[in-house]
Chain A
Amino acid sequence: MGTKTKWMSSFSHMSRLSSKHGFFIATAILAILPIFVQDPYLLNVLIISLIFAVLTASWNLICGYAGIFTFGHQAFFGIGAYVSALLAMKAGISPWLGLILGGIVAAFLGFLIGLPCLRLRAAPYVAITTLAFSEIVRITCMNLVDLTRGELGLWGIPNFPDISVPFLGVISFAGGVRIPYYYLILIIFTIAMLTFYFLLKSHIGLAFGAVRDSQDAAESLGIYITYYKLLAFVTSAFFAGMVGSFYAHYILILTPTSVFPVGLMIEILAITLIGGVGTFLGPMTGAFLLTVGLEYLRFLGEYRLMTYGILLVLVIIFMPQGLAKNIFRDKAISE
């Protein structure tokens, strides 16, 4: 993994926007966007973009910062979705609590899959192990027909109940409204990004970087790599599970094929790499670009996915380090 240090090489471009400012500006724009955009279809596209932004940012934490190349992130998303939906349907637990519980169960799963990955050094080994694990979760979910209804689909998932917010009054999530969901996912996105920011800014971020660049060197300097690797798994899985739970109460119907597919992981990978792996704003940039871009390609009809495939190839050939490196001055957050 000798070229990893090259990720750090383009840090000194002072003329570009710093990640911190870029993040605040982006969030501010997203917060006022519904004043201009009220079309339900467009809001849906934005909500899906934000779901992907959280999902890819959480994967970027483990892959881009801690250097653990996992390929089973969809398991955490799916388990968060199913846990929260089933708790709400079978045990009457509020979806608001489900957001947290979905995250906690996913984090526990992250801990479990983290354990066998601790001894694996090379990227493909970790990738395929986590992939096998996520396939086990998917097939189990598909086969437990009595609980999840399998491929028939779990439907009748409740909305988020109304909540009353000071100054704004009672906010209802019923009847296909989009704007409350938009703000809810924006809040989840902001919480996730701030958590990652402060995590990476602290000594934990430094330890992640050390583990990424050389595990042996990190260990010899007294960094307890088992702890930091598991921490990366747990944190990353928690937010993937939380956003999965949001997805369940937004889309209101789940099938194993819709929340656990390998295709979802491939999308996460493509978004993160096109945005820029190991950069703070890369996943967000990629998530909006690819989600919105794929919608714009709809006019191509059945040629849409073919074009998408070619675009992926071209972007990586001409920008092997992703877009964010060229837009934002990613002064290492952990400095």
Chain B
Amino acid sequence: MITGKLIIEQVFNGLVLGCMYAAVASGLTLIWGTMKMLNFAHGEFYMLGGYVLYFALTVFGIPPAVCLLLAVVIVFVLGALVEKIAIHPLLDKPGWELSPLVVTVGISIFLQNLALKIWGESFKNVPYFLDGTAEFFGIRMAYQRMIIFFVTALVMVGFWLFIKRSKFGMGLRATAQDRDAATLMGINVKKIYTITFGISSAMAALAAALLAPIFSINPWMGNAALLKGFITVVLGGLGSFEGAILGGMILGTAESISVVVLSSEWKDVVAFAIFILVLIIRPSGLFGTKEW
């Protein structure tokens, strides 16, 4: 039976899912905005975030809040390291519009199989950070989902302020606008790239760590996240942070509503069809600028 209550619950679940898409997508959009490349290894940083949380929480028994921080910091370092080793050598060489693609695909294959080798193919489950549900006017919401929603929202606002207000954020935006001019202004563009990559990876790790209790952790979990992340960024307009958030929310709610209206097998078809329709009407995405 489809009731109004059920729909409202699903909308809320959709917004929670949308938070995850937004977090994954904002990392992708950040990298596209600054470096003009697509990162196919983004899903693997997401996966690594999930594993860090799993080990910290269930093996070492560290409190969840510290676990989240650990996941973010460790994956930030890994992301920055990967950029230094594999992306740096490609800068200023011919074929930049495609070469980072293959390199990140290679990294993705490597990390996925490394995870498979070290941690095996069993699905790892993580307990809820906080059990129980809250009830508002007869609508039930799990605490875990509320935590996801508020933590992501907080991080997004913090990140937005960081980009708009901090000195680093200004350097980053300058680099995104015109790399050569930024270099002339004394901005260390290569350092910006490394940190950008690290931040982007850390955002993915945060999303995975928050969602770990709802989805289980396995070496392939990054694939689906990457696909949804890409759909989200293009829907919102590549390079646009606001677009990534709005795109995530639209996709998330569309999916969770289509689960009740149609069935769960068709939810991705609905989400992808909405995506294609939006692009037919607005070829540069919701917030995209004309030049793309």
Interface residues of A (CB under 8 A from B): 1, 3-4, 6-7, 9, 69, 116, 119-125, 127-129, 131-133, 135-136, 139-140, 142-143, 262, 266, 269-270, 273-274, 277, 302-303, 305-306, 308-313, 316-317, 320-321
Residues of B within 8 A of A309 (CB): 106-111, 113
Q: Mark B203-237, 1 if CB is under 8 A from A, else 0.
A: 00000000000000000000100010011011000
Known: A124-B38, A131-B230, A273-B102. 14 other contacts (CB 8 A): A9-B94, A116-B280, A121-B291, A122-B238, A124-B32, A125-B238, A136-B268, A266-B105, A269-B101, A269-B105, A302-B113, A309-B106, A309-B110, A310-B106
CA of A283 to CA of B108 in the docked complex: distance in angstroms? 22
Q: What are some 6 contacts across the A-B interface (CB < 8 A)? A: A129-B275, A302-B117, A308-B109, A309-B108, A313-B106, A317-B86
Q: Which residue of A lies closest to B105 (CB)?
A: A266
Closest 3 CB pairs of A and B: A309-B110, A312-B106, A309-B109
Which bracket fits the contact residues of B?
Answer: 35 or more
Docked-complex contact B110 and A132, CB < 8 angstroms: no
> A300 → chain B, closest Cβ, in Å?
11
What is the number of contacts between chain A and chain B, taking CB atoms within 8 Å? 144
Taken residue by residue from 98 to 133, chain B's Cβ proximity to chain A (1 for < 8 Å, 0 otherwise) reads as: 110111011111111110110000000000000000
| B284 is an interface residue with CB less than 8 A from chain A | yes
Main secondary structure of the interface of B (DSSP, over half): helix
Give the distance to chain A from B198, nearest Cβ to Cβ, in Å.
18
Q: Does more than half of chain A's interface fall in helix, strand or loop, or is it mixed?
A: helix
Q: Residue of B at shortest CB range from A135?
A: B272
- Among residues of A, the one whose C-beta sits closest to the C-beta of B284 is A125
Q: Judge whether B269 and A131 touch: CB under 8 Å.
A: no
Contacts of A128 in B (CB 8 A): 230-231, 233-234
CB distance from A86 to the nearest CB of B (A): 20
A123 contacts across to B, CB distance below 8 A:
97
- Chain B 77-103 residues near chain A, CB threshold 8 A: 86, 89-90, 93-99, 101-103
Q: Are A306 and B94 in contact (CB under 8 A)?
A: no
Query: Judging by beta carbons under 8 Å apart, are A277 and B268 in contact?
Result: no
Q: Is B155 an interface residue (CB 8 A)?
A: no
Minimum CB–CB distance from A333 to chain B (whole Å) comes to 20
Partner of B94, one of A142, A303, A320: A320
Residues B234 and A124 in contact, CB atoms below 8 Å apart:
yes
